[in-house]
A and B are shown apart, each in its own frame.
Chain A
């Protein structure tokens, strides 16, 4: 905290009078350093997004060669009565909530295990990075194969253990499909959270734990009253990054179930893609993506505020 305060003071001094000549070049400084980023983002993100926003008020589509007409709020009205959209949105929120919370729980457990000094801890910690080394699409294909009803490893194992030949249709059933995708997502995300929490745990001060030992605190008490609050900023960073990532989920669903059966495992972005690129409802897809992006913007601003508070 002290270092931060002095930093601010010095910037104040810097800005005010000590380096007068620098003040003249401040404008130039801003232009040289920030302009490339802003120009690039404006051209490649802001303008195309505005274009997409404009399209969401038209009947534009990729397949039929009809003239683009302005249709007002038609698309936005249409999406409100589109049950697949509403269900996909709801499913995405449920998916994100479940995945993030389970990942946090498992991540805490894994970090707690690996925080102990052990033989081969370097190896264990590197092994934890393995899921992060794999592109999500590979994880999707791998889990698709694991959960395959005919030749998949999961059904094979169930057969080996129980001797029963029932082929569980993991990816062809709405609920089981959701669970399979969730499993893959959790497998992919838990190590990321665990690594951040582990970094946090290893940097915790020793004194509170020693004091707690003297007072005869139990393992759980130590975890709940010391580790948990001290780890809060780390949890927040991990949660922020993960929930943003999961809200964009696409790869796993696209590969594992393709949104099926009958669009019952569709998440928001797989549905938008299908509408725009396959079902010739480009403009409706744009409208839906705006509603979804708006929701995640609100969420991002909230998380960012929390992050800034944790960083300062």
Chain B
């Protein structure tokens, strides 16, 4: 019994230690955002801020291009619009496709499904090189619409994959029952399958939203000015050639982490289910 207790306490110590390691950078960002400027680069490091100040946030929220400071409001609205619109489009399109692939397993359907998954293997850089040229030709370079187009396309495969998994869990008997009751394919999808996968749908939406919210590769190449720059690209405004305004950056980082934190806490159960589908069968 004693040996078991030792093991258990070791387990406790190790677990909490590890969690300290995993949460530390996030905690440190928050601390950096609220500490006085002189503490930020202090050596030896100051762990707990002596005084708490929200100067960095005040400066951030008051910023705009006319005063030469960082245009937080523009970045904020750009990021929200880009993330929301691409999420709505890619989840809508991905849900439809996911439903089809959950109900059809012909050789051709599988081949199409696989080639869609291949699109996910294309890195943002490889795609944004030609998109850069195409977008500048059709006039959506450095526009929110251009980024929404790119992100929607890149997120369709994963949304399809997730939704296909969720739809597969709905038994085909329900489909048949709805057909007997006179539903069309569309009716069966809209009235039976869709409501049942609503939690899965929200997981897919949250996952897509967070992916776009934190995306950097594509936006760093396609967003050039304040007209379309999201947070991730805007962070570079805090860096100059030789110095970095760590505290200002930390304040913006805190704003960036808030939605992810809320979403992940709300949807973690479904996120995990979506990712581990079928492994337990």
Contact = CB atoms under 8 A, between A and B. Distances in A.
A250 B185 contact: no
Contacts of A70: none
A45 interface: yes
B11 A285 contact: no
A151 B43 contact: yes
20 contacts: A1-B281, A25-B184, A33-B97, A36-B96, A36-B97, A45-B154, A49-B122, A55-B133, A113-B18, A126-B265, A128-B22, A132-B260, A133-B257, A145-B246, A187-B22, A248-B123, A251-B216, A272-B126, A289-B123, A300-B117
Contacts of B189: 33
Given A37-B156, A131-B25, A276-B129, 15 more contacts: A29-B100, A38-B112, A44-B149, A51-B130, A51-B133, A127-B22, A130-B23, A134-B257, A141-B249, A146-B25, A151-B41, A254-B216, A273-B221, A282-B129, A292-B126
Q: Which of A19, A128, A135, A199 has the most CB of B within 10 A?
A: A135
A157 B260 CA distance: 30
A156 interface: yes
Given A134-B260, A135-B256, A52 B214 contact: no
> Which secondary structure dominates where chain B touches chain A?
helix
Contacts of B94: 37
Contacts of A300: 117-118, 120-121
Contacts of A254: 216, 220
Interface in A122-152: 124-139, 141-143, 145-146, 151
A187 B22 CA distance: 7
Interface string B248-261: 01000100110011
Contacts of B28: 142, 153
A277 interface: yes
Contacts of A116: 8, 11
Interface residues of A, number: 103
A50 to B, nearest CB: 8
A106 B125 CA distance: 30
B22 A237 contact: no
A40 B152 contact: yes
Given A33-B100, A129-B264, A301-B114, A250 B156 contact: no
Interface string A27-58: 01110111011101101110011011001000
Interface of A: 1, 3-4, 7-8, 10-11, 14, 19, 22, 25, 28-30, 32-34, 36-38, 40-41, 43-45, 48-49, 51-52, 55, 110, 113-114, 116, 118-119, 124-139, 141-143, 145-146, 151, 153, 156-157, 159-160, 187, 190-191, 195-196, 199-200, 203, 233-234, 236-237, 241, 244, 247-248, 250-251, 254, 269, 272-273, 276-277, 282, 285-286, 289-290, 292-293, 296-297, 299-301, 304, 310-312
Q: What is the interface of chain A mostly: helix, strand, loop, or mixed?
A: helix
Contact of A37 (B43, B97, B124, B279): B97
Interface in B1-28: 8, 11-12, 14-16, 18-19, 21-23, 25-26, 28
Contact of A269 (B25, B120, B125, B215): B125
B253 A141 contact: yes
Interface stretch (B52-60, B62-70, B171-179, B195-203): B171-179
B19 A286 contact: no
Range of interface residues on B (Cβ < 8 Å)? 35 or more
Contacts, number: 264
Contacts of A250: 123-125, 216-217
Contact of B103 (A11, A113, A136, A191): A11
B134 interface: yes
B45 A153 contact: yes
B80 interface: no
B235 interface: yes
B141 to A, nearest CB: 12
Residue among B124, B160, B214, B264 with the highest chain A CB neighbour number at 10 A? B214
A132 B271 CA distance: 12
A79 to B, nearest CB: 14
Contact of A142 (B11, B25, B130, B214): B25
Interface centre among B18, B149, B213, B246, by most A CB within 10 Å? Answer: B18
Contacts of B93: 36-37, 40
B251 to A, nearest CB: 12
A52 B278 contact: no
B29 A138 contact: yes
Contacts of B130: 48-49, 51-52, 55, 286
B23 A41 contact: no
A200 B279 contact: yes
B263 to A, nearest CB: 8
Contacts of B149: 44
Contacts of A276: 129
